[in-house]
């Protein structure tokens, strides 16, 4: 049985060709699935009955099953997706004044083992399929549409996951429920490259979700070859998890830095900007008490990023069970931000959303049965 959620438009067109059908059928069916939220061929009344019967026998529209849902006091909602075995990954919807942002997961766990990350601490189980990645967007649109939520229920703005102030010249269509997608949930999107790209193409396609490239953000810990591929294959807004201003510290916090050190990463960011839909890279920087949050670190960061047009998203560390790190004090957070600002850099401190349901950055734990030994030499990165 072919799950049609696994196809982007090119895949769907190929599938319909194999059934002897014209490409416009693929566009019709894509609109039913992704725009109307159809999971049933019977409702696709503009398809010939014979085609609907053929599809019924050979294909299905199977989104991932949702096991649990929680709503935080600030309106943030989190779902746990059943991804087989005893595993589950999380997806988080964050309502704000003028937008609704969905934070999507791309892997069950993560092999990159960053020292401050709850997902990384659980190890890696497997990549999510295209259907499981795009199914998060499909599902959340479906649930919010059914309950009449979305833009109407959006609340006070409370800081944003990525700096999207340039949304002003890119207004969201008024009927859109999820207006922005960030690949900042569980997993490293660029380590699940092919499935991530196919899902991105569906997000951007006018026959599916029709989001603009500026409203879709991939967050990466810095897989340099895959960043170059993304620039060619599907350039969307890019956030890079920096977290340290020098190799010595970054090697400890983000172990993939040993493979792709900061000089290479900065050069890759510059190359990406030739293709990017925004004219800056967003650098994410977690502030961990006494580890990377001193004013000297901020000064070093200014020097490191001198040649890369960028904005900073400062993320106060979110604690999770088993971690010894602590969040930077409000004074250190302010001094760090001001040091960047004095050097002319735009830096916003990300407000924590949904922390009463463990939906804040880096707290997404889901359920992962570890299948890896978490050592760097076992990390396989698509080239």
Q: How far is the CB of 323 from ligand SF4 (least distance, A)?
A: 12
> Which of 63, 100, 123, 187 is in the footprint of ligand SF4 by CB under 6 A?
187
With CB under 5 to 8 Å by kind, the binding choice for 284 among ligand SF4, ligand SAH, none is ligand SAH
Please give, one letter per residue, the 3-state secondary structure of the chain: CEEHHHCCHHHHHHHHHHCCCCHHHHHHHHHHHHHCCCCCHHHCCCCCHHHHHHHHHHEECCCCEEEEEEECCCCCEEEEEECCCCCEEEEEEEECCCCEEEECCCEEECCCCCCCCHHHHCCEEEECCHHHHHHHHHHHHHHHHHCCCCHHHCCCCCCCCCCCHHHHHCCCCCCCCCCEEEECCCCCHHHCHHHHHHHHHHHHCCCCCCCCHHHEEEEECCCHHHHHHHHHHCCCEEEEECCCCCHHHHHHHCHHHHCCCHHHHHHHHHHHHCCCCCCCEEEEEEEECCCCCCHHHHHHHHHHCCCCCEEEEEEECCCCCCCCCCECCHHHHHHHHHHHHHCCCEEEECCCCCHHHCCCCCCCCCECCCCCCCCHHHCCCCC
Catalytic residue positions, numbered = 90, 361
With CB under 5 to 8 Å by kind, the binding choice for 310 among ligand SAH, ligand SF4, none is none
- When asked if residue 181 is in the footprint of ligand SAH (CB under 6 A), the reply is no
Of 26-34, 144-152, 298-306, 310-318, which part binds ligand SAH (CB under 6 A)?
Answer: 310-318
C-beta closer to ligand SAH: residue 198 or 219: 219
- When asked if residue 110 is in the footprint of ligand SF4 (CB under 6 A), the reply is yes
With CB under 5 to 8 Å by kind, the binding choice for 286 among ligand SF4, ligand SAH, none is ligand SAH
C-beta closer to ligand SAH: residue 207 or 241: 241
- When asked if residue 349 is in the footprint of ligand SAH (CB under 6 A), the reply is no
C-beta closer to ligand SF4: residue 123 or 235: 123
The footprint of ligand SAH on residues 106-125 (CB under 6 A) is: 116-117
The footprint of ligand SAH on residues 57-116 (CB under 6 A) is: 116
The footprint of ligand SAH on residues 127-156 (CB under 6 A) is: none
Binding site residues, ligand SF4, CB under 6 A: 110, 112-114, 117, 119-120, 187-188, 221, 241
């Amino acid at each position: 049985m072919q799950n049609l959620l696994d196809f982007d438009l090119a895949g769907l067109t190929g599938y319909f060709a194999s059934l002897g059908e014209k490409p416009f059928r693929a566009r019709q069916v894509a609109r039913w699935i992704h725009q109307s939220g159809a999971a049933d061929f019977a409702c696709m009344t503009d398809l010939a009955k014979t085609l609907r019967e053929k599809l019924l026998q050979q294909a299905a529209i199977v989104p991932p099953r949702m096991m649990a849902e929680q709503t935080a006091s600030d309106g943030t909602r989190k779902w746990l997706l059943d991804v087989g075995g005893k595993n589950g990954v999380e997806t988080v919807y964050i309502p704000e004044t003028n937008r609704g942002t969905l934070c999507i997961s791309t892997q069950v766990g993560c092999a990159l083992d960053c020292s401050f990350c709850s997902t990384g601490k659980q190890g890696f189980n497997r990549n999510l399929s295209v259907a499981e990645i795009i199914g998060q967007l499909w599902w959340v649109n479906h649930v919010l549409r059914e309950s009449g939520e979305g833009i109407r229920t959006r609340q006070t703005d409370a800081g944003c996951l990525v700096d999207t102030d340039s949304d002003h010249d890119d207004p969201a269509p008024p009927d859109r429920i999820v207006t922005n997608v960030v690949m900042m949930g569980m997993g490293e999107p660029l380590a699940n490259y092919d499935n991530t790209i196919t899902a991105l193409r569906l997000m951007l396609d006018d026959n599916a979700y029709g989001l603009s490239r500026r409203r879709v953000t991939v967050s990466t810990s810095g897989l340099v070859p895959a960043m170059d591929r993304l620039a060619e294959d599907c350039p969307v807004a890019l956030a890079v998890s920096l977290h340290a201003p020098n190799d010595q510290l970054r090697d400890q916090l983000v172990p993939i830095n040993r493979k792709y050190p900061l000089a290479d990463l900065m050069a890759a960011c510059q190359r990406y900007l030739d293709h990017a839909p925004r004219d800056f890279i967003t650098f994410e920087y977690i502030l961990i008490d006494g580890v990377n949050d001193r004013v000297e670190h901020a000064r070093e960061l200014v020097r490191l990023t001198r040649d890369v047009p960028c904005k900073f998203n400062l993320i106060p560390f979110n604690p999770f069970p088993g971690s010894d790190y602590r969040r930077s004090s409000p004074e250190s957070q302010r001094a760090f931000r001001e040091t960047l600002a004095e050097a002319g850099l735009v830096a916003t401190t990300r407000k924590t959303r949904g922390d009463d349901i463990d939906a804040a950055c880096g707290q997404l734990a889901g359920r992962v049965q570890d299948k890896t030994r978490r050592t760097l030499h076992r990390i396989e990165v698509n080239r």
